[in-house]
Amino acid sequence: MKSTLTVSAVQQPCDEDRQTNLDFSIAKIHEAAANNADLVVLPELHLGPYFCQSEDYNNYNLAQPIPGPTTEILSGVAKELGIVIVSTIFEKRAPGLYHNTAVVFDKDGSIAGKYRKMHIPDDPGFYEKYYFTPGDLGFKPIETSIGKLGVLVCWDQWYPEAARLMALAGAELLIYPTAIGWDPEDSPEEQQRQLDAWITIQRSHAVANGIPVISCNRIGFELAPNSTTGINFWGNSFIAGPQGDIITSANDSETKLLSCTIDKARAERVRQVWPFLRDRRIDEYGDLTRRFID
């Protein structure tokens, strides 16, 4: 496998119809491939507006099987361009059983694997528990031609346990497709605190595990159905190195293809200098499996 990787993340608006959004994503994948990228990551649920702002059974019509129509298209793009693609899809597994699922396409067009979002939020404007069953595939890296990818999805990014388990299973990159934004009614100070926390927690996963992180968010204001409110998706996608160092980033509103080179050997050196895995007290961590210690 290559010792260095060129990786990309697509920060894009997702407020149009499925075909328009997919065409936009594919155009950015072509742009990444023209820059010799080995990997490109797309935002969470990039095929359409963030439908979880409301609970509406009609939205189940947006789901599709895996394999299915979109995976067939992206498989063809991956094979044509010789690039690894990470996409997330509203998966219809069976009637009444749906997941928020990341799919990884290898350079030969095959589906290398998938990850079903494990932590499902239920907050105002983020009513995901209505739609998504928690994942049942575990925290297992997906083996590809460019290495082992620790793919997690959005709300998963707040949990150090998820990042750690991916790292312990051999993940060489942590990847977070995301759809997160501000409530426009929050004060500018509160919005800044939320954004800072979001960036900090993901950079900390890079530091604690000694591996790079790719965080890919959408942009734009999306109005909630039958409402005057909505979510202003805050962008700020970034790629960080194994010490949490920001290699490349975007602001809160720009459409941008982020690209950089990742040196795998550097991550190994960082782990040697900061041997967090060596010094873990696994004999004393049993209580982590409890909900709360009374």
Distance CA 219, CA 254 (A): 7
Q: Is 210 exposed, middle or buried (0-12, 13-18, 19+ CB in 10 A)?
A: buried
Side chain identity at 262, as an amino acid letter? I
Nearest-angstrom CA–CA distance, 241 and 206: 7
**11, 220 in Cβ contact below 8 A?**
no
- Cite the active site residues: 44, 117, 154
- State the residue for tokens 């009614």: 185
Contact yes or no for 182/191 (Cβ under 8 A): yes
String of DSSP letters for 204-261: HHHHHHTS-EEEE--EEEEEPTTSS-EEEEE---EEE-TTS-EEEE--SS--EEEEEE
CA angle 236, 165, 150 (to 5 degrees): 50
